[in-house]
Amino acid sequence: MLDRRRMMMGLGGVAVAAGLLGKAGLAQAAKVSAGGKSVLIVVDVQNCFVPGGSLAVKEGDQIVPLINKLAKGFQNVVMTQDWHTADHVSFASQHAGKKPFEAVKLPYGNQVLWPDHCVQGTEGAALVKDLDIPHAQLVIRKGYHRNVDSYSAFMEADGKTATGLGGYLRQRGIKRVFVVGLATDFCVAWTAMDARKQGFEAYVIEDACRGIDAQGSLAKSWAAMKAAGVRRIQSGDLA
């Protein structure tokens, strides 16, 4: 009887301790800090990529309020814009007999063909008007070379032509990169993976992104990002 009483008291002590730990927050996953050594990269939140645009991402407009809210918690914010020539090599219209979302082989590798989008100086290429990040410090325009596409904010699709963003961030002492925007499985993913290649910690805030998911591209991109060491988080994981 005495042994049983001791056992019950012991179990009760464990339960009380577990409850105290939970209340103290010690049993919960650690938050990710978005301090001064971090940057938020807002990828391609442009008119062409939201509903009504020529390459609309489903629910692409729904992430704008969350991005605005997240940006207020970052001292450092960089934005990107797709900025194509009217005859860009990535446009299906430039390849006889080809349709959007088909692929072709180009000198730098496989290229998905897109509807014409984000042509330089057009309304479609403009940032969505409800995007409200007045303290953004830099806008990187990418894809402006006619003969090569550019998904990543760091490197064009040839893997050789740098945008200069890596050097800019290193000179400013940035260590952590957080990526949001459009589309998860293309420009967001490539930006995050290139951030890892350039030595930064990289996080994709999933609920502040939306994907195209063409032929399973979303699942493939998450797998590739995981393999590259990119961390997949939610907005609520930020400190």
Q: Is 172 helix (H, G, I), strand (E, B) or coil?
A: coil
Task: Respond yes or no: is residue 118 known to be catalytic.
Answer: no
CA angle 206, 74, 81 (to 5 degrees): 65
Cβ atoms within 10 Å of 164's Cβ, excluding its own: 10
98 is a catalytic site residue: no
- The CA distance from 206 to 110, in Å, is 26
Can 142 be counted among the known catalytic residues? yes
Residue 215 CB neighbours (<10 A): 10
Decide: 181 and 63 in contact? Cβ < 8 Å: yes
CB-based contact 78:195 (threshold 8 Å)? no
Catalytic residue among 142, 185, 194, 209: 142
The residue count for the chain:
239
CA 32 to mean position of chain CA atoms: 16
Sequence-ordered strand ranges (E) for 20-59: 38-43
Q: At a CB cut-off of 8 Å and minimum separation 6, what does 198 contact?
A: 154, 166, 170
Active-site hit among 48, 118, 187, 209? 187
Residue owning tokens 């490539």: 190
**Would you please indicate which residues are annotated as catalytic (active-site) residues?**
44, 142, 187
